[in-house]
Chains A and B, each alone.
Chain A
Amino acid sequence: MKKLFMLLVLFVLLLPSATWATKPVKIGMVTTLSTKAGYLGEEVRDGFKLAIAQEGGKLGGVPVELLVEDDGRDPGKAKQIADRFMKRDDVKIMTGLIFSNVAIAVIPKVVRSEVLYISPNAGPSALAGKGCNKNYFNVAYQNDNLDEVVGKYVNDAGFKNVYLLAPNYPAGKDHLAGFKRYYKGAIAGEVYTKLGQSDYAPEIAALRAAKPDGVFFFLPGGMGINFIKQFSQAGLNKTIPVFGPAFSFDERLLGAVGAAALGVKNGSQWTHDLDVPANRQFVAAFREAYGRTPTLYASQGYDAARLIGSALKSVEGDVSKLDALRAALRKADFESVRGDFAFAANQHPVQNLYIREVVEDGAGGYTNKTLKTVFTAHSNAYVDACKMD
């Protein structure tokens, strides 16, 4: 009797471990957590983690394990980490890359190895057109989107002579091209500055002399902070309106720019004030978990996690069913914090794009307010160039 009891106890003790022995699905996140741009990866990671935490360690009811590594914004390092994830950890789903140049170096090999990659940020044209792949999904945007929306808005608002400014590297030219796709007026000047430039006084003086009726700039990170501050110190913000994609106006950068950014209109696919149930829930939960307002990057990380969750649910966590998993991802059957969301043929988002304005948040800080829906269900310019097998 005692022996039987002991056996029973042993059996009961073993039981949970036997049923829980289905290992959690590993998700590899290669992202940028160090360098000046480290806060971008932090936001994506925190948004992603929030989605996992809300389900108690699961996504779509499937237990997951998130492996996070910092690429230091270095394509070589990112490649090594991706290799390690695939070979050592046998990861079948990857995400996390922030920078387009890093993405272009890493993603082609990953997707060729039959690993699914879901981009929470970088959306270079090279991977949207000819270089598209059935294993590559972008849940954030195609890079040009946030410029296209500003171009359309500026054009519709009747601006006739706009001055353009971007750093002298491939992404800078892409972003200005995105703007020009929908802006049909004259161009007062098109200036490419040194990457990482800190003082824009000469450019601002030349800009004033050109007498434009508006300025569009793409200067990510610290460059944008510098430009906006100096532009306002030169007294130009009172006479020449400034436009740009959301990258220089996320809530974490606005704190460093201060009042100089007030009134700037910028283009984005998401803002924390979007009145969608999934979004209200997300923003409240994010603020509670991290004590700050989420940026667009955090919303992208969160959506990436929920998209992966929807696909994992459909295959019940069996990542070896690659075709079924891919088909489920393509359906985008999840509640995006952006509201309506679908994938275009090249597996980049079809979504609304908005113009928002920098306003005071009432607590001494600055934030964004959605002003206008410029595009409804907007796709991207590279769909036709993508021939997916």
Chain B
Amino acid sequence: MPFYVLMLLIIEQILNGLQLGVTLFLMSAGLTLIFGIMQVINLAHGSFYMIGAYVGATVTARSGSFLLGLLAALPAAALVGMLVEAIVLRRLYKKDHVDQVLATFGLIMFFNELTRIIWGRQPLFMDVPAWLSGTVEIIPGIPYPSYRIAVIGVGLLVALFLYLMFAHTRIGMQIRAGASNREMAGALGINIKLIYTLVFGLGTLLAGLAGMMAGPILAVEAGMGESILILTFVVIVIGGIGSVRGAFVGALLVGMVDTLGRAFMPTFFRLFLPTAHADGVAASIASMSIYILMAIILVWRPKGLLPAHA
């Protein structure tokens, strides 16, 4: 492969990694807050991703407008999230982590079955909006899908918005206070209960946004949230529990390592192994790469890269 072709390929794969990273960030920003502030292990976070995708796909199909779908998906995910917080999770704050895992795992099954009852077993169809359906040559020689560029753009905007909110608004400060010491924050007159519900709503809204944006790229089907949930937990652990900045760094790191590992590991192993063998080894190592990354980071920094309670 000529050198400049390899360079173009590397740039394209970095874009792919960036896109996976920002999707993971949308998921993990919410989950890390819930984890950090409420001390609740919420396995059902992937369900809100799924709800976002399902509601978005349905409304988009009915109305023909992607933006309307987005406008419906976000409040739907946030609303269901706040309802779940009020009905189920509120009873779990004082309970053991095992109880929380059991209950939220039950929620996963509940939501998966519910979507099958409402929408059936058949995956839903959702297309890229017409105005984003083409490809763009950001750098000459790499036609890249415009939709994926839009996903990267939205993810970075959300990151900026969250940064401004946490650093420069009153509610952001209250949430941060709650994350570092909730008893003290409560003693200072912050309505922790309200903050909990708001944070949960914000987290599930972001998950819904991630699901809606994944809809045109992935199959919209029951259980779609579980595959991304595992990566999300890896991101949170790497970034440091409760830290949105950590989630951002962790998400980009995981996105890059996973993508570049899958893309270039086979080429690397082919240098010193026969092709068929190299592909097998590379496929196995590539799927382990993010867990190896997690292990290394935990040895180096047991609390994650940017822990909230540092």
Give A residues with C-beta under 8 Å from B: 35-36, 38-39, 42, 168, 190-194, 196, 198-199, 201-203, 205-206, 209, 221-222, 225-226, 229-230, 233-235, 252-253, 255-259
Contact = CB atoms under 8 A, between A and B. Distances in A.
A238 to B, nearest CB: 10
A194 B259 contact: no
Contact of A202 (B13, B134, B219): B13
B143 A235 contact: yes
A36 B224 CA distance: 9
B218 A198 contact: yes
A149 to B, nearest CB: 24
11 contacts: A36-B221, A190-B276, A191-B279, A193-B283, A194-B283, A194-B286, A198-B224, A222-B224, A233-B135, A235-B145, A259-B127
A192 B222 CA distance: 25
Interface string B209-248: 0000010111111111001100000000000000000000
A234 B263 contact: no
A36 to B, nearest CB: 5
A165 to B, nearest CB: 11
Contact of B1 (A209, A222, A229, A258): A209
Contacts of B5: 209
A199 B217 contact: yes
Contact of A230 (B12, B20, B217, B263): B217
Nearest to A224: B219
B250 to A, nearest CB: 18
Given A222-B218, A233-B133, A234-B145, 5 more contacts: A199-B217, A202-B17, A233-B135, A256-B220, A256-B221
A235 to B, nearest CB: 5
A256 B266 CA distance: 31
A168 B283 contact: yes
B191 interface: no
A258 B228 contact: no
B92 interface: no
A227 to B, nearest CB: 10
A62 B141 CA distance: 67
Nearest to B1: A209
Contacts of B287: 168, 194
B86 to A, nearest CB: 30
Nearest to A38: B121
Contacts of B17: 202
A11 B259 CA distance: 79
B135 A255 contact: no
B143 A257 contact: no
